[in-house]
Chain A
Amino acid sequence: DQQVKQNSPSLSVQEGRISILNCDYTNSMFDYFLWYKKYPAEGPTFLISISSIKDKNEDGRFTVFLNKSAKHLSLHIVPSQPGDSAVYFCAASDRGSRLTFGEGTQLTVNP
């Protein structure tokens, strides 16, 4: 049973535009959500996180939105840059222990 889902395997956007990556989850016990960026043959790099008591967190070009009632979160990148091209994983945690990852979305930002 896939508890964290990223339904878009890939996303392509133009440089300077907004990238929106989506994630859905099913487990109501998840109380902390994170986005990681990953390049091939490297470990995931933390981008931004959000606690279940908040609905928005912003860090520079990156904003994460959480809709608890819909069990949905999204990552907005504005403006998108070619260096943002990577696989983005949504992850969820239950009380700060194990991370459950989504399948990932390959973001390509075209110059």
Chain B
Amino acid sequence: DTEVTQTPKHLVMGMTNKKSLKCEQHMGHRAMYWYKQKAKKPPELMFVYSYEKLSINESVPSRFSPECPNSSLLNLHLHALQPEDSALYLCASSRAGGDGWRAFFGQGTRLTVV
């Protein structure tokens, strides 16, 4: 199993809504990531969890709140988003490092904020 599964695939939310994005992997990876990708731009790192602890926060606004309940799951809680937050949100996972390191990405959640 080399899959990273993200739900939902599509999400439309109002600026006053609270929603959550979910990500799951069963590869035994101990590092998990959230990336944001706008149209015709590269993915940009938001958060990194290493061994279920937040290790990197790339100065992301507090309206995005990550959570790592266990080593297989990663959530991104959304609250009071702005229309400019509309993007493809990608989850990824990897081993913690070492030779042959690479990140596996999920299919993404297409988020539209109205």
Partner of A103, one of B41, B97, B100, B102: B41
Is B102 a contact partner of A42 (Cβ separation < 8 A)? no
Classify chain A: how many residues form its interface, as a range: 20 to 34
Is B42 a contact partner of A93 (Cβ separation < 8 A)? no
Chain B residues within an 8 Å CB radius of A44: 43, 90, 105
Chain B residues within an 8 Å CB radius of A104: 40, 42
CA distance A103 to B102 in the complex (A): 19
- A72-111 CB mask vs B (1 if < 8 Å, else 0) is 0000000000000000010001011111111110000000
Knowing A41-B110, A42-B107 touch, does A93 contact B41 (C-beta < 8 A)? no
CA distance A36 to B22 in the complex (A): 23
Chain A residues within an 8 Å CB radius of B99: 51
- Residues on A lying within 8 angstroms of B by beta carbon are 32, 34, 36, 41-46, 49, 51, 89, 93, 95-104
28 cross-chain CB contacts under 8 A? A32-B101, A34-B102, A36-B105, A41-B107, A42-B108, A43-B108, A44-B43, A44-B105, A46-B102, A46-B103, A49-B102, A89-B42, A89-B43, A95-B97, A97-B31, A97-B48, A97-B50, A97-B55, A97-B97, A98-B45, A98-B48, A98-B56, A99-B33, A99-B103, A101-B42, A101-B43, A102-B42, A103-B42
